[in-house]
Amino acid sequence: MKALVYHGPGKRSWEERPKPVIKDSTDAIVKIAKTTICGTDLHILKGDVPTVTDGRILGHEGVGIIEEVGPAVSNFKKGNRVLLSCITSCGRCEACKKGMYSHCENGGWILGNTIDGTQAEYVKIPFADTSLYHVPAGADEDALVMLSDILPTGYECGVLNGQIKPGDIVAIVGAGPVGLSALLTAEFYSPAEIIMIDTDDNRLDVAKKFGATKVINGKDGRAKDKVMEFTGKKGVDVAIEAVGIPATFELCEDIIAPGGHIANVGVHGKSVQLHLEKLWSQNVTITTRLVDTVTTPLLLKEVKAGKLRPRQLITHEFPLADIMEAYDTFGNAAKEKALKVLMKAA
């Protein structure tokens, strides 16, 4: 089969690889129908993720068709259409029992990381019963690809951890695919205001179309002042960090109201200054989280009910065979006005 393979920093190729086979009784082989590229894949290609080694097939998102299942798999059979989760969950360790699949002792984020991933014609999914989801009848499969990673990430790490409630003023810092996913799922709770902050006007325009009630371009360094002015100097009830650098996290510290929640979503490479000399008395809550994908069933229901429309996150489509070109487009997201690129198998 063909697959997108990582060969060290800066090197990727679309090449022939052996088709995966069932090894453990809980495995399933899935024929990929649709997949996409994540910002994390670009980080891997920069060499920033040391657990990914030369020869690894990348990708942790997608929709496909069950090709074969191991003898202990009972929820799925050949021919079923399935949503793949970026997180592999064994369902039987202490972390899984708590619903913290991200820290599964036997899984977690391993696809396209420590085991071969979904940017290929076939992929092997361990613990299939607890890591795959049936595609609901009549669902828009293109849209569902957005449920493998970015929507549960925005929802769990941003919206749920931020404890957004009706009437709240919410700020989301970063209007990339994950920040926009936080925006779309924040709307589940009807906050009074959603302020979107970014430095790219195109993304802020998208945010407005997606329902942001206020957008702020922070390029001039005045984002803090603008938020404080907009909120009558009170600050926001919930600040969601969806970038992953010190400056944006510290912006969240600057704009949070007493009693507020800062929900970190971004992947950080450096420590940040936590201004406890100011925040110690401010009754704030700060959370971090690697997505658990524990809300995938809920998100599937919301898609089916028409309350969540993930398709609008897809800006570009390619045949799976053109994935090398898709990477180029996604790698120049600002210039290409790209959010998510979708690749479809022939």
- Which residues sit at the interface with its own copies, rule CB under 8 A? 25-26, 71-72, 74-75, 91-92, 94-100, 102-103, 106, 129-130, 165-167, 187-193, 213, 244, 249, 258-259, 264, 266-277, 279-290, 292, 294, 297-299, 301-302, 304-305, 307
Question: In this structure, what are the phi and psi dihedrals at residue 133, rounded to the nearest 5 degrees?
Answer: -135, 140
Least distance CB 302 / its own copies (angstroms): 6
Q: Nearer to its own copies by C-beta: 82 or 345?
A: 82
DSSP letter for 24, please: S
The residue count of the chain comes to 346
Task: Report the alpha-carbon distance of residue 46 to residue 68 in Å, rounded.
Answer: 34
Least distance CB 38 / its own copies (angstroms): 15
For residue 203, CA distances in Å to 17, 93, 166 come to 37, 40, 25
Structure tokens at 230: 């907009």
Q: Nearer to its own copies by C-beta: 55 or 269?
A: 269
Q: Residue 262 burial by CB count (10 A; 0-12/13-18/19+): exposed, middle or buried?
A: buried
Q: Nearer to its own copies by C-beta: 80 or 315?
A: 80
Least distance CB 268 / its own copies (angstroms): 4
Question: What is the distance in angstroms between the CA of the first residue and the CA of the last residue of the chain?
Answer: 13
Q: Nearer to its own copies by C-beta: 1 or 279?
A: 279
Least distance CB 276 / its own copies (angstroms): 4
Q: Nearer to its own copies by C-beta: 285 or 312?
A: 285
Least distance CB 86 / its own copies (angstroms): 13
Least distance CB 255 / its own copies (angstroms): 16
Structure tokens at 332: 């120049």
Half-sphere exposure in the Cβ direction for 106 (13 Å, CA): 17
Q: Nearer to its own copies by C-beta: 45 or 90?
A: 90
Q: Nearer to its own copies by C-beta: 120 or 132?
A: 132
Residue whose entry in the numeric block shows the structure tokens 């009807």: 190
Q: Nearer to its own copies by C-beta: 270 or 335?
A: 270
Structure tokens at 12: 């990727």
Least distance CB 273 / its own copies (angstroms): 5
Q: Nearer to its own copies by C-beta: 59 or 162?
A: 162
CB–CB of 95/57 below 8 Å? no
Least distance CB 189 / its own copies (angstroms): 6
Residue whose entry in the numeric block shows the structure tokens 């809550």: 285
Task: Report the alpha-carbon distance of residue 331 to residue 301 in Å, rounded.
Answer: 32
Task: Report the alpha-carbon distance of residue 203 to residue 58 in Å, rounded.
Answer: 26
Q: Residue 308 burial by CB count (10 A; 0-12/13-18/19+): exposed, middle or buried?
A: buried
DSSP 10-71: T-EEEEE-PPP---STT-EEEEEEEEE--HHHHHHHTT--TT--TT-B----EEEEEEEE-T
Least distance CB 54 / its own copies (angstroms): 24
